[in-house]
């Protein structure tokens, strides 16, 4: 594998690791008119 | 409507969606819709906006949003001018909120911050007006988040 290919593979691996770790895990929407929702 | 729209999202655990309405008889009573991501998934706020827009909440209603508070995990970066939480394809720019100063202190002394909770800018106002405004900023990869809480890894 060429150096460029290794670099590309490394970048993809790092991106995958970031994606797995970086997440919006929960949310709360505060509303007015909840009785109608 | 809004709760159903959120529950329809692929990345939201539909069993987690919990609508709470404060007791009383008046119209437009305050309440909350809480939701949790499916295991291993990340909630896409833009998809939630699109889903709510597809309901009649994008039309004539006086129902309104007070806030959208999210909890996110990710990598915190502290620069000279700002602290950001990096997500795939998006960056939350952490801003002044009740816990912002404490968070900045924790990051500065090298604590490992594992999650940040905060209110997403733009998610407030009457539904139709808010949805229209959010649609204009859709796809923006820098989203301000007012910090209301955070957690650090135990040492």
Among A20-24, B14-18, B39-43, the least confident range: A20-24
Q: Which pLDDT does position B4 carry in this prediction?
A: 83
Question: How far, in Å, are B115, B122, B148 from residue B131 at the CA level?
Answer: 27, 9, 23
**Coil vs helix vs strand at B81:** coil
Q: Which of B37, B40, B61 sits opposite A24 (nearest CB)?
A: B37
Give this prediction's pTM: 0.84
C-alpha B100/C-alpha B155 separation (Å) is: 21
Taking CA–CA distances from A25, the nearest residue in chain B reads: B37
Q: Which pLDDT does position B57 carry in this prediction?
A: 87
Q: Which of B59-63, B64-68, B88-92 has the highest mean pLDDT?
A: B64-68
| Those residues with Cβ within 8 angstroms of residue B143's Cβ, 6 or more apart along the chain or in another chain | B45, B90, B91, B92, B93, B120, B121
| Those residues with Cβ within 8 angstroms of residue A16's Cβ, 6 or more apart along the chain or in another chain | none
Contacts of A31 in chain B (CB under 8 A): 2, 30-33, 63-66
* ipTM (interface predicted TM): 0.90
């Amino acid at each position: 594998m060429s150096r460029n290919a290794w670099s590309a593979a490394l970048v993809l691996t790092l991106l995958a690791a970031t994606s797995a770790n970086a997440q919006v895990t929960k949310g709360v929407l505060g509303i007015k008119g909840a009785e109608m929702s | 409507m809004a709760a159903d729209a959120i529950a329809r999202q692929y990345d939201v655990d539909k069993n987690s969606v919990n609508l709470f309405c404060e007791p009383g008889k008046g119209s437009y009573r305050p309440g909350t819709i809480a939701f949790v991501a499916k295991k291993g998934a990340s909630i896409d706020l833009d998809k939630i906006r699109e889903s709510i827009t597809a309901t009649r909440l994008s039309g004539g209603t006086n129902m309104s949003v007070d806030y959208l508070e999210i909890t996110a995990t990710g990598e915190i970066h502290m620069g000279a001018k700002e602290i950001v939480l990096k997500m795939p394809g998006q960056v939350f720019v952490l801003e002044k909120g009740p816990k912002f100063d404490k968070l900045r202190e924790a990051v500065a002394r090298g604590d490992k911050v594992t999650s940040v909770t905060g209110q997403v800018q733009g998610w407030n106002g009457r539904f139709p007006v808010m949805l229209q405004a959010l649609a204009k900023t859709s796809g923006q990869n820098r989203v301000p988040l007012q910090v209301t809480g955070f957690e650090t890894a135990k040492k």
